[in-house]
Amino acid sequence: MRAVVTVIGKDAVGILAKVSTKCAEHNANVIEVTQSVLQDLFAMIMLVDISKLSTDFAQLADDLTALGDSMGLKIHTMHEDIFNCMHHI
């Protein structure tokens, strides 16, 4: 089982570090990271393995959203199936 973590907001130092630390706290293994900075806008998409989570999925999603709020970023954590089903036949 994998989830997609999307981080969008104003660029700052340490975004990747803080988000991956939070993932590690929940035992979510980061598999892949794509990030881009367009002018001031930071967009990062992380693919994380959630099959061995130490908490439940909702807790991880809520903690990441809260982390985002504290840094002025929007963080969405969604199961990868929603993207696969919507964009692949």
Partner 1 sequence: MINTYDVLETIRMIQDECLDIRTITMGISLLDCIDSDIDKACEKVYKKITQKAKNLVSVGEGIEKEFGIPIINKRISVTPIAIISAACKCSPVPFAKAMDRAAKDVGVNLIGGYSALVQKGFSAGDIELIKSIPEALSSTERVCSSVNVGSTKTGINLDACKIMGKIIRECAEKTVDSACFGAAKLVVFCNAVEDNPFMAGAFHGVGEPDCMINVGVSGPGVVRAALKKYPDADITQIADVIKKISYKITRVGQLVGVTASQRLGVPFGIVDLSLAPTPAVGDSVAHILEEIGLEKCGTHGTTAALALLNDAVKKGGVMACSRIGGLSGAFIPVSEDAGMIDAAKSGTLSIEKLEAMTAVCSVGLDMIVVPGDTEADTLAAIIADEAAIGMVNSKTTAVRIIPAIGKDVGDELDWGGLFGCGPVMPLKKESPSKFINRGGQIPAPLHSLKN
Name residues contacting partner 1, limited to 12-41 (CB under 8 A): 32, 34, 36
Write down the least CB distance from residue 17 to partner 1, Å: 21
Write the DSSP assignment of 27-65 as a string of letters. Answer: TPEEEEEEEEEETTEEEEEEEEE-TT-SS-HHHHHHHHH
Write down the least CB distance from residue 31 to partner 1, Å: 9
Question: Are 45 and 35 in contact, with CB atoms under 8 Å apart?
Answer: yes
- 45: which strand partners? 6, 34
Rule CB under 8 A: say whether 51 interacts with partner 1: no
Binding site for partner 1 (CB under 8 A): 4, 6, 8, 32, 34, 36, 43, 45, 47, 57-58, 61, 74, 76-87, 89
